[in-house]
Amino acid sequence: MLPRMRRVALLGATGSIGRQAIEVVAAHPDLELCALQSGSTSLEALAAEHRVQHVQVGGDAVGLLERSEPDVVLNAVVGFAGVGATLWALEHGVTLALANKESLVAAGELAIRARRRGEGLLLPVDSEHSALWQCLEGRDPETVAGLVLTASGGPFRGRSRAELTDATAADALAHPTWNMGPKITVDSATLANKGLELIEAHWLFALPYQRIEVVVHPTSVVHALARFRDGALLAHVGLPDMRVPISYALTYPDRAATPVPQLDLVGLDLSFEAPDLDAFPLLALARACGERGGTAPCAFNAANEVAVEAFLAARIGFLEIAAIVEETLSRVDGAAARDLDDLMAADAEARRLAARGLQPA
Ligand SMILES: NC(=O)c1ccc[n+]([C@@H]2O[C@H](COP(=O)([O-])OP(=O)(O)OC[C@H]3O[C@@H](n4cnc5c(N)ncnc54)[C@H](OP(=O)(O)O)[C@@H]3O)[C@@H](O)[C@H]2O)c1
């Protein structure tokens, strides 16, 4: 049981995470929805069904958050559009359950500074980061040697670069282990998603990039591992089902029951392999952007969003996604953002450059 009713503002309510979050909230007597936001989908029926007073379609989430006075903001918006809500929650010390990794990637430094001022909780919903948070909680940071993020490898695991030339959006959307929105599914196919997660882990757990590894683990049952200085590793293991990390973030520090079945350990495939950085160059590029710092990760994210949208619309091929991001990164200055205005300018400039890369030569 939670000490009292917890009011949840759900941003990205109509998406894959949003729908699963509604299920989690509906099943818990001490959680209630106080606000809903979508990008363009109507929220009328959802709001009526769940008796939610504050709703907003599109636009800036800040007004909605101020009106609805949530205890927790669950940011499940896709893309850079989630950045305002992330910064608002952190600045105001309102607990932030964060699925929208792009906001932390783009605004990492601003977000960490806002959290320091707001002194609120930043609880990861991304399954790997939720796993790491649980492996690390209560540990002395001095004892942590490194972090390991696992990647399913996506639908194209094992294919060479040459074999990816003709990969279509339909091929990329057929993810082997997770059922997610289209943007993150394509990001999983290119491994850009793991690159975004690498940067997200850097900001969440304050570790340098060289101490964060990525390994491919096709069955997705080991969500992440933490390495300790004595040689021990702690792993977080379970069925790949986002209701588990959503529920943990919304009911923390309690651990509410979920309808997710227990994992059968007999015959479990726990194999790991190195990622193929030649076929999937966006992972190494994200690491380089993280190390470069400033607004390089913001530009990486923006160019990737533009390229993924073009790929989903069949305007470019699969391999062009990485080519556009790389080209964009070679043209931006990557200077650090002092505030949200600087960040929005860096995001807009990277989008402009990436869009230029979409034009036929
Ligand atoms: N899906 C997963 O299993 C999973 C796992 C880990 C992390 N995540 C992260 O969670 C986030 C959401 O992923 P998803 O798979 O749930 O995406 P999704 O299914 O595409 O849903 C995206 C949600 O964001 C809303 N949205 C889009 N643009 C918006 C805008 N400008 N302002 C406000 N809302 C906007 C959409 O509304 P409309 O319906 O109106 O378009 C929708 O509700 C992403 O950052 C993703 O990386 C997802």
Distance 30 CA to ligand 1 centre (A): 25
Q: Which residues pair with 255 in a beta bridge?
A: none
Per-residue pLDDT reduced to its tens digit, 15-50? 999 999 999 999 999 999 999 999 999 999 999 999
Q: Is the dihedral of CA 223, 189, 124, 289 positive or negative?
A: positive
- The residue whose C-alpha atom lies closest to atom 33 belonging to ligand 1 is 39
Distance 20 CA to ligand 1 centre (A): 12
pLDDT above 80 for 266: yes
pLDDT mean over 267-274: 96
- The residue whose C-alpha atom lies closest to atom 41 belonging to ligand 1 is 39
C-alpha distances (whole Å) from 48 to each of 30, 42, 69, 162, 244 are 19, 12, 19, 51, 26
Reported confidence tier of residue 145, pLDDT bands at 50, 70, 90: very high
Distance 183 CA to ligand 1 centre (A): 8
In sequence order, what are the residues at sequence separation of 6 or more whose Cβ sits closer than 8 angstroms to the Cβ of residue 286? 192, 194, 195, 196, 198, 199, 297, 300
Using the atom order of ligand 1, give the atom closest to the CA of residue 14.
Answer: 43
Distance 14 CA to ligand 1 centre (A): 8
Percentage of residues of the chain with pLDDT beyond 70: 99
Per-residue pLDDT reduced to its tens digit, 164-209? 999 999 999 998 887 899 999 999 999 999 999 999 999 999 999 9
Per-residue pLDDT reduced to its tens digit, 63-114? 999 999 999 999 999 999 999 999 999 999 999 999 999 999 999 999 999 9
- The residue whose C-alpha atom lies closest to atom 34 belonging to ligand 1 is 39
Distance 267 CA to ligand 1 centre (A): 34
Distance 83 CA to ligand 1 centre (A): 13
Distance 265 CA to ligand 1 centre (A): 32
Mean pLDDT of the chain: 97
Judging by DSSP bridges, how do beta strands 31-38 and 54-57 pair with one another?
parallel
Say how many residues make up the chain. 361
At residue 361, the pLDDT reads: 55
Reported confidence tier of residue 360, pLDDT bands at 50, 70, 90: low
Ligand 1 proximal residues by C-beta, below 6 Å: 12-18, 37-41, 58, 76-78, 81, 99-102, 126, 178, 180-181, 183-184, 242
Mutate to test the pocket of ligand 1, among 43, 78, 193, 248 (most ligand atoms within 8 A of CB): 78
Judging by DSSP bridges, how do beta strands 144-151 and 72-75 pair with one another?
unpaired
Please say whether the beta carbons of 72 and 305 come within 8 A. Answer: no
Using the atom order of ligand 1, give the atom closest to the CA of residue 180.
Answer: 1
At residue 1, the pLDDT reads: 72
Distance 144 CA to ligand 1 centre (A): 32
**Which DSSP string do the residues of 116-177 spell out, in sequence order?**
HHH---EEE-SHHHHHHHHHHTT--GGGEEEEEEEE---TTTT--SGGGTT--HHHHT--SS
Q: Is the dihedral of CA 250, 253, 259, 263 positive or negative?
A: positive
Q: What is the H or E stretch that residue 74 is in? A: strand 72-75
List phi, psi (to 5°) of 150: -100, 150
Judging by DSSP bridges, how do beta strands 95-98 and 122-124 pair with one another?
parallel
Q: In terms of Cα–Cα distance, which of 150, 130, 135 is closest to 270?
A: 150
Using the atom order of ligand 1, give the atom closest to the CA of residue 196.
Answer: 47
Question: How would you classify residue 232: left for phi > 0, otherwise alpha for psi between -120 and 50, otherwise beta?
Answer: beta
Mutate to test the pocket of ligand 1, among 44, 73, 75, 77 (most ligand atoms within 8 A of CB): 77
Per-residue pLDDT reduced to its tens digit, 1-11? 787 899 999 99
